[in-house]
Amino acid sequence: MDIIAFDSHKRYTLSLVEDREGRVLTEARIPHTRGAVKEFLQQFTPGSTVAVETIGSWYWILDEIVEAGMRPALVHARKAKLMMGMINKTDRLDAHGLNRLQRNGTLPEVWIPPAELRDKRDLGRTRMVFSNMRTKIKNRIHSVLSKYALHDFGKVSDIFGKRNRDQLKQRVDELPPQTRFTTHCLLDELDSVQGKISVFEDRMKEVYAETPEIKILRTIPGIGFLLAVVIANELGDISRFASPASLASYAGTTPRVHASGGKVRYGPLRSDVNHYLQWAFAEAANSICVNHKRCPDRHASRLYTRIRKRRGHFKAIGAVMRHLAEATYHVLSKMEPYREPTTKAASPRKA
C-alpha cells in the first residue's frame, strides 16, 4: 500500500506519496477542480489510506478519495501538529509529517460523518448563523436605546415580543432623526431574520423524525426538539466517546487547565472544539438560567445558583453546560431518560 498525505488549501492541494520506508514516490500540486483529486489518486494502489487535515472544504475531497477506491483518514489538525513537533512549517513538511504519523500508526483521526448526515447538519448550522444575527441586532437596538435613556421597560422580560412591539416603536420614535431611521431599519431586519429562523425550524421539523435518541435527549432540562436535533447530529455515534469527560471536552464545555507546583489555574473554554455543539449546550444552559426560579429543586437550577453566588453568572453557565454535556453522554449510552442526580449522604466518621 502507498502512503499518501494531502496538505489542502483553498485553491489547491499538495500531495506527497511515499513508500513504507519513507522514500518519496510522487509529489504533486492538485488544483481544486471537480474530478482532479480522483484522477490523481487512480494511479496508485487501491485501498491506500489518504490523510487529509480538517479544513473548511474537506467534504468534496473525501468524496473523491472514496470514489477513487482509497480510504480517507480525516486528521485532527491541531493534534497532528503537536505530534509532528516541527519548528519550521511548509506544505511539504506538513504532508511528510502526516505520512510519518501514518507509518508509526499514530495518526490522530477524527470521525467522518456519512454524506447524508453532513447534508442534514447544514439546517441546524445555518439556523445558528441566523440566530447569532438576531442576537447581534437585538444587542444593537438595546445599545441605542441605552444611549438615550430609553431602555427602561419596567418588568418586561422581552421588549421584542409581540405584546411589547408597540411600546418599543414608541420609544424608537423618541430617538433623534437619523438614529430613529437606523433603528427602524434594524427592527425591519430583525423581523426578516426571525422569519428565516421560523422557516428553518419548520423545515427541520419536516426533515427530522423524532428518533429514540431525540426523545431521550428531550428529557434533559433545557433541551427541546430543535436543540435535541442539533446535538444528535453533531455527536453522531455516541460510542466514539470514551467517557462523559471526553464528550464534554469535544463540546467545548471544559476550561483550559494549568497546574504546576501545587497550584491549579483554570482559563477560558477551549477554541478547538465543535462550536455548533457548544452553542447548543449554551442555549440549553441559558434556558435553565432564565427559568431557574420556576424550577428551584432541579439539579441544574441549584447548580447554577450555587456557582453564581461564588463565581458569577458566566462561570455558572459554564458549569451547567458541562453538566448537560455529561448528562447527554449518560442518557445516550444507556438509552434511558434523564434522571435528577441524587446527593449521597456523607458517611459518619469513625472514632
Q: How far from the centroid of its chain's Cα atoms is residue 236's Cα?
A: 13
* Lowest-confidence pick of 14-18, 33-37, 150-154, 238-242: 150-154
User: How does residue 347 score in pLDDT terms, banded at 50, 70 and 90?
Assistant: very low
Rounded Cα distance, 224 and 349, in Å: 44
pLDDT of residue 108: 93
The CATH number assigned to the domain holding 35 equals 3.30.420.40
Domain assignment of residue 346, yes or no = no
Question: Do 128 and 18 belong to one domain?
Answer: no
- Contacts of residue 299, defined as CB under 8 A and 6 or more positions apart, other chains included, come to 323, 340, 341
Which pTM does this prediction carry?
Answer: 0.83
Question: Do 8 and 66 belong to one domain?
Answer: yes
Rounded Cα distance, 111 and 97, in Å: 20
Residue 261 region, left (φ>0) first, then alpha (ψ -120 to 50), else beta?
left
pLDDT of residue 295: 87
Domain assignment of residue 347, yes or no = no
* The three three-digit cell numbers of residue 11, written as one number: 485553491
Question: Do 164 and 247 belong to one domain?
Answer: no
Question: Do 236 and 323 belong to one domain?
Answer: yes
Domain assignment of residue 241, yes or no = yes
pLDDT higher for 325 or 160? 325
Last residue of a domain, one of 104, 127, 150: 104
Domain assignment of residue 349, yes or no = no
Domain assignment of residue 129, yes or no = yes
pLDDT higher for 157 or 144? 144
Question: Do 244 and 303 belong to one domain?
Answer: yes
Question: Do 36 and 121 belong to one domain?
Answer: no
CB atoms under 10 Å from CB of 174, counted, come to 11
Which residues form the domain of 125?
Answer: 115-207
Domain assignment of residue 168, yes or no = yes
Per residue in 56-73, pLDDT (tens digit) is: 788 999 999 999 999 999
Question: Do 242 and 174 belong to one domain?
Answer: no
Last residue of a domain, one of 104, 136, 156: 104
Question: Do 224 and 321 belong to one domain?
Answer: yes
* The three three-digit cell numbers of residue 91, written as one number: 506544505
Q: Is the pLDDT of residue 117 over 70?
A: yes
Question: Do 186 and 221 belong to one domain?
Answer: no
Question: Do 12 and 89 belong to one domain?
Answer: yes
Question: Do 125 and 60 belong to one domain?
Answer: no
Radius of gyration of the chain measured on its C-alpha atoms: 25
Question: Do 60 and 119 belong to one domain?
Answer: no
Domain assignment of residue 162, yes or no = yes
Q: How far are the Cα atoms of 53, 193, 311, 346 from residue 343, in angstroms, in the given order? A: 44, 44, 22, 9
Domain assignment of residue 152, yes or no = yes
Please give the tally of structural domains in the chain.
3
